[in-house]
């Protein structure tokens, strides 16, 4: 099976790998004068007031430098989400660039010494180069770094001083000059459109990554977007550098630039040297700032070392010194004036005053993009200078980090994680194995059945040993996680401080995959898994067609594609011979070619249906699905949901305010989704800020009371309205349902579950929950809702479809006040008139990561049978 979404990735990487490992083509050495400066090429210095270089021109500049400089190799590794070029730039001495493959091999030996002799390791330390990756432009409204990168590459190409010579000789820099090329175009074009007007400097109305906006730094461990896959290919598999820095911007009113190391708390289980290296690089960055009289640098503050598993926070567990810089922002490319009394402290900077980690407070005044560019250039080169001067130490550290993590894995209590073949959704389990391989993690597979700690595992069971360099990554992706609760994570009044923004990143829990901890020696015959696990499904036709198992997420894609192909598909609403309630039943008339293509691409088995299923099933018609989209920077939860619906072949229509206000919604749609969002952001009323004043009027969104009324009519007339998390407030406040949010008013000390996995129990007999296991995990973020049924003559209209368990609710993350949610509903459906509101209090599709609860969304988008009780009662509106 070759899943459709994966095909372009594989093709792109094949094209990308070839030039990386071939000797780069050289032109005749150019003298520095021939190489155009950014100022001469773009007509302004990088970071000039009100000037932003567009990605297409930046690409042209990089290609020019590639042609003119023997120190620069620019690779076009593929296309971005919207089809723009994605670049990776290699920088080193000409001699080094001529032997990239040898450098890569030495690096690989040190980063994973398994199977290498002492002599090979000594050779790699003696001859290797420090591999250092830096990336820019990930967050597109943080405009400076995409501009900085051009000046950085120019400096690499033209500087002739001794420090640069040492850097070129002893290091290999891999630059990702823009991690989100599409976003540079979106933001630059928006800025240029409004510069010189009263709306100059306002943020664009849409997500600056087509699907996921600012969340594009939350995708490193799942790699759903193509941009993440390109970066992961460099960082986790092809190179695994010694260090990585991602250059960002933060708010405008504290330090001028945050530099490594991170503040407290840190996430444990990385090799300690990685934290020491970050402090070491960061100290030199900070030193060079003050040497250059660039005030306002701070380290060991603001950004804690425990954050979501984005690239800079996951890399330490790959034994990479994974770092972040965060410069204070202006207003896109417009200067910002900052008064001294606007400057304030932050985490581990209690007052805006000098301290050891912040000896040169900036005193206020104009703040410009050029100020950021200058700091980012220093932050780029200072750590390279350290790495170049200490090449051998850094490379020996690389070996030490890897070998010590392997040794810890041999000695640890948990020696391995076992992924059994017997799973609720084996196809999703295979996707998880592929995601582990995408991290460059070694995965083995059992050739024969084996027994461990009393459990019997079939042949084909996957085993992930902890005795490998990436032990730290494995521990956090597969092991149960408890976020620290201590004085670093509480304020002086005892209120919990929000993590950044998840308190667990357990991939197995998000995906609903069973993983067992294995302690002690395992006796199993294991072989390494080298390639993507991608089997095809099987086909066996019965007298009445086929059965598709509704426990598999991919079955929903198969059903969608069958319906799109015109096949006759029914859904079981009771158990029958050879099928269960929820299964999809496909008539035998479907074309064989359609079946074989779907089987190949989804991996779903088409099993024989022998009996006539009519009595316990109903025919499906494709539902007309709409999802609300707003302006005001876009809504990432909406964007992720779009990504997910497309990945599973659901047809949908994005609707905006005007579409809702046009009314007659039932004539156009069967289902409307309100992704997680505040009521104020949806309606445009009662916003708690006045930021709309700098937004051009045509982009001030909100559907107001009239929109609420249109949605209410839609439900009354038979529509299905689906809300995720805080979007439920609109229903609770406006639609008169006998349900309240039990955690709405609770302070953090009484209820707190920031990005945690919570144990839920699922009533599997309802069409909204078909295919779900009875025990599952919900991913709960701050702002999520928990439902309590209110005393009401209409309480029979409420169905408690999913509830939190009665005790030990926390699986991973951080939970305070479990009594506030124990036994309460996580998901309810409420009948209203002829229609239904489905309120999912957590995020069933969070960042397209929570495969374990996708079906709660998918079922809502599938035709449901008429409900006998309500039909008997005439289905009359109340």
Residues forming the site for Zn ion (CB under 5 A): 139, 142, 248
Q: What are phi and psi of 521, to 5 degrees?
A: -65, 140
Which string of DSSP letters, residue by residue, matches 115-154? T--HHHHHHHHHH--EEEEEE--SSTTSTHHHHHHHHHHH
The distance of Cα 178 from the centroid of its chain, to the nearest Å, equals 17
In which residue are the tokens 């969002």 written? 677
**DSSP label of 767:** T
Contacts (Cβ under 8 Å, ≥6 apart) of 143: 52, 187, 188, 191, 249, 332, 333, 369
| Coil, strand or helix at 221 | coil
Which residue, 248 or 331, is less far from Zn ion as judged by CB? 248
Say if residues 245 and 136 touch (Cβ distance below 8 Å).
no
Which residue, 142 or 657, is less far from Zn ion as judged by CB? 142
Which residue, 263 or 513, is less far from Zn ion as judged by CB? 263
Which residue, 177 or 512, is less far from Zn ion as judged by CB? 177
Which residue, 142 or 215, is less far from Zn ion as judged by CB? 142
Give the Cα separation of 64 and 145 in Å (integer): 20
Say if residues 779 and 450 touch (Cβ distance below 8 Å).
no
Q: Which of 837, 826, 857, 846 is nearest to 743 (CA)?
A: 826
Q: Are strands 243-250 and 130-135 parallel, antiparallel or unpaired?
A: parallel
| Closest distance to Zn ion from the beta carbon of 792 (Å) | 46
| Closest distance to Zn ion from the beta carbon of 25 (Å) | 35
| Closest distance to Zn ion from the beta carbon of 231 (Å) | 15
Q: Which of 294, 281, 275 is nearest to 376 (CA)?
A: 294
Contacts (Cβ under 8 Å, ≥6 apart) of 269: 317, 471, 472, 475, 476
| Closest distance to Zn ion from the beta carbon of 248 (Å) | 3
Which residue, 144 or 604, is less far from Zn ion as judged by CB? 144
Give the Cα separation of 337 and 252 in Å (integer): 10
Which residue, 248 or 370, is less far from Zn ion as judged by CB? 248
Say if residues 810 and 758 touch (Cβ distance below 8 Å).
yes
Give the Cα separation of 343 and 322 in Å (integer): 28
| Closest distance to Zn ion from the beta carbon of 243 (Å) | 19
Strand-pairing partners, residue 137, are none
Which residue, 323 or 798, is less far from Zn ion as judged by CB? 323
| Closest distance to Zn ion from the beta carbon of 139 (Å) | 3
Which residue, 248 or 551, is less far from Zn ion as judged by CB? 248
| Closest distance to Zn ion from the beta carbon of 251 (Å) | 11
Considering Cα of 418, then 423, then 429, then 430, what sign does the dihedral take?
A: positive
Say if residues 474 and 265 touch (Cβ distance below 8 Å).
no
| Closest distance to Zn ion from the beta carbon of 84 (Å) | 20
> What Cα–Cα distance (Å) separates residue 424 from each residue in 54, 512, 572, 662, 774?
48, 8, 19, 43, 10
Which residue, 329 or 836, is less far from Zn ion as judged by CB? 329
| Closest distance to Zn ion from the beta carbon of 146 (Å) | 12
Say if residues 585 and 579 touch (Cβ distance below 8 Å).
yes
Which string of DSSP letters, residue by residue, matches 547-573? EE-TTSHHHHHHHHHHHHTT--EEEES
| Closest distance to Zn ion from the beta carbon of 637 (Å) | 18
| Closest distance to Zn ion from the beta carbon of 423 (Å) | 36
| Closest distance to Zn ion from the beta carbon of 641 (Å) | 22
CB atoms within 10 A of CB 873: 10
Give the Cα separation of 878 and 874 in Å (integer): 11
Which residue, 199 or 500, is less far from Zn ion as judged by CB? 500
| Closest distance to Zn ion from the beta carbon of 385 (Å) | 25
Q: Which of 337, 335, 53 is nearest to 201 (CA)?
A: 335
Which residue, 136 or 584, is less far from Zn ion as judged by CB? 136
| Closest distance to Zn ion from the beta carbon of 327 (Å) | 10
Contacts (Cβ under 8 Å, ≥6 apart) of 235: 133, 241, 244, 311, 315, 318, 320
Which residue, 201 or 702, is less far from Zn ion as judged by CB? 201
| Closest distance to Zn ion from the beta carbon of 179 (Å) | 10
CB atoms within 10 A of CB 13: 18
Which residue, 246 or 385, is less far from Zn ion as judged by CB? 246
Which residue, 229 or 248, is less far from Zn ion as judged by CB? 248
């Amino acid at each position: 099976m070759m899943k459709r979404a994966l095909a372009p990735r594989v093709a792109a990487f094949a094209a990308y790998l070839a030039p990386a490992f071939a000797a780069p083509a050289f032109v005749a050495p150019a003298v520095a004068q021939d190489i155009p400066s950014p100022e001469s090429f773009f007509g302004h210095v990088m970071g000039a007031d009100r000037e932003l270089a567009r990605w297409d021109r930046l690409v042209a500049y990089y290609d020019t430098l590639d042609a003119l400089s023997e120190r620069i190799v620019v690779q076009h590794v593929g296309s971005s989400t919207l089809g723009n070029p994605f670049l990776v730039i290699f920088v080193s001495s000409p001699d080094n660039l001529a032997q990239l493959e040898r450098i890569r091999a030495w690096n690989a030996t040190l980063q994973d010494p398994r199977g290498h002799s002492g002599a090979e390791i000594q050779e790699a330390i003696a001859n290797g180069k420090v591999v250092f990756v830096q990336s820019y432009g990930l967050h597109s409204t943080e405009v400076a770094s995409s501009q900085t990168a051009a000046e950085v590459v120019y400096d690499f190409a033209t500087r002739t001083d001794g420090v640069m010579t040492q850097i070129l000789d002893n290091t290999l820099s891999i630059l990702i000059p823009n991690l989100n090329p599409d976003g540079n175009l979106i933001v630059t074009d928006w800025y240029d459109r409004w510069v010189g007007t009263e709306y100059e400097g306002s943020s664009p109305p849409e997500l600056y990554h087509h699907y996921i906006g600012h969340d594009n730094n939350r995708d490193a461990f799942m790699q759903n977007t193509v941009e993440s896959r390109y970066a992961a290919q460099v960082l986790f598999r092809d190179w695994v550098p010694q260090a990585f820095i991602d250059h960002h911007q933060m708010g405008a009113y504290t330090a001028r630039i945050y530099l490594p190391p991170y503040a407290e708390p840190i996430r444990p289980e990385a090799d300690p040297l990685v934290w020491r290296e970050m402090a070491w690089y960061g100290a030199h960055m900070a030193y060079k700032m003050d040497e250059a009289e660039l005030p306002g640098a701070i380290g060991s503050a603001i950004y804690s070392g425990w954050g979501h598993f984005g690239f800079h926070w996951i890399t330490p567990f790959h034994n990479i010194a994974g770092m972040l810089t965060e410069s204070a922002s202006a207003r896109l490319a417009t200067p910002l004036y900052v008064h001294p009394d606007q400057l304030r402290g932050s985490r581990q900077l209690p007052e805006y005053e000098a301290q050891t980690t912040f000896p040169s407070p900036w005193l206020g005044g104009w703040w410009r993009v050029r100020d950021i560019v200058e700091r980012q250039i220093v932050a780029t080169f200072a750590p390279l200078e350290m790495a170049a001067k200490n090449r051998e130490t850094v490379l020996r550290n690389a070996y030490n980090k890897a070998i010590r993590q392997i040794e810890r894995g041999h000695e640890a209590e948990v020696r391995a994680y076992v992924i059994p073949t017997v799973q609720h959704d084996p196809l999703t389990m295979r996707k998880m194995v592929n995601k582990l391989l995408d991290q460059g993690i070694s995965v083995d597979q059992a050739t024969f059945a084996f027994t461990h700690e009393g459990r019997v595992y079939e042949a084909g069971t996957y085993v992930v040993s902890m005795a490998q360099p990436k032990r730290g990554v494995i521990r956090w992706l597969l092991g149960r996680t408890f976020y620290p609760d201590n004085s670093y994570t509480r304020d002086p009044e005892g209120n919990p401080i929000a993590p950044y923004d998840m308190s667990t990143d357990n991939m197995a829990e998000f995906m609903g995959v069973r993983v067992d901890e294995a302690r002690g020696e395992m006796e199993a015959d294991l072989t390494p898994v080298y390639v993507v696990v991608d089997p095809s499904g099987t086909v066996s036709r019965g007298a009445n067609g086929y059965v598709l198992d509704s426990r598999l997420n991919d079955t929903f894609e198969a059903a969608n594609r069958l319906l799109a192909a015109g096949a006759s598909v029914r859904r079981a609403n009771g158990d029958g011979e050879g099928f269960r309630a929820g299964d999809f039943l496909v008539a035998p008339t479907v074309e064989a070619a359609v079946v074989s293509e779907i089987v190949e691409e989804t991996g779903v088995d088409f099993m024989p249906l022998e009996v006539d299923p009519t009595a316990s099933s109903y025919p499906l018609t494709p539902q007309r699905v709409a999802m609300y989209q707003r302006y005001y920077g876009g809504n990432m939860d909406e964007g992720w949901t779009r990504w997910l619906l497309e990945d599973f072949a659901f047809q949908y229509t994005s609707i905006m305010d005007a579409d809702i206000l046009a009314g007659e919604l039932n004539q156009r749609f069967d289902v409307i989704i309100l992704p997680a969002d505040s009521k104020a952001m949806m309606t445009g009323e009662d916003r708690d800020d006045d930021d709309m004043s700098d937004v051009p009027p045509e982009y001030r969104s909100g559907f107001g009371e009239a929109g609420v009324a249109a949605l209410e009519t839609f439900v009354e007339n038979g529509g299905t309205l689906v809300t995720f998390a805080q979007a439920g407030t609109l229903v609770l406040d406006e639609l008169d349902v006998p349900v309240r949010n039990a955690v709405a008013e609770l302070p953090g000390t009484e209820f707190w579950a920031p990005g945690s996995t919570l144990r839920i129990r699922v009533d599997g007999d309802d069409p909204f929950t078909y295919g779900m296991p009875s025990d599952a995990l919900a991913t709960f973020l701050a702002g999520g809702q928990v439902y309590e049924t209110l005393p009401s003559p209409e309480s029979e209209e409420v169905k408690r479809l999913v509830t939190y368990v009665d005790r030990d609710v926390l699986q991973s993350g951080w939970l305070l006040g479990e009594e506030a949610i124990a036994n309460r509903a996580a998901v309810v459906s409420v009948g209203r008139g002829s229609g239904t509101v489905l309120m999912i209090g957590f995020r069933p599709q969070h960042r397209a990561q929570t495969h374990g609860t996708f079906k709660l969304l998918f079922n809502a988008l599938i035709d449901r049978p008429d409900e006998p009780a309500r039909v008997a009662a005439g289905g009359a509106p109340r």
